Amino acid sequence: MKTQAIILLTLLMVGISNITAEEKENSKEAITTLTTSISGTITDATTGESLVGVKVVLEELNTVVYTDFDGNYEFTNISVGKYTVSTDYVSYKTCESLSIDTNKSNALNIILKADL
Say which residue, 96 or 5, is predicted with more confidence: 96
pLDDT of residue 99: 86
Strand blocks (E) in 8-94: 35-44, 55-58, 63-66, 72-79, 82-88
Say which CATH architecture domain 35-112 belongs to.
Answer: Sandwich (2.60)
Express each pLDDT in 72-116 by its tens digit: 999 999 999 999 999 999 999 988 778 888 888 889 999 999 987
Sign of the Cα torsion 16, 19, 25, 29 reads: negative
pLDDT of residue 66: 98
Express each pLDDT in 10-66 by its tens digit: 555 555 555 555 665 665 555 566 889 999 999 999 999 999 999 999 999 999 999
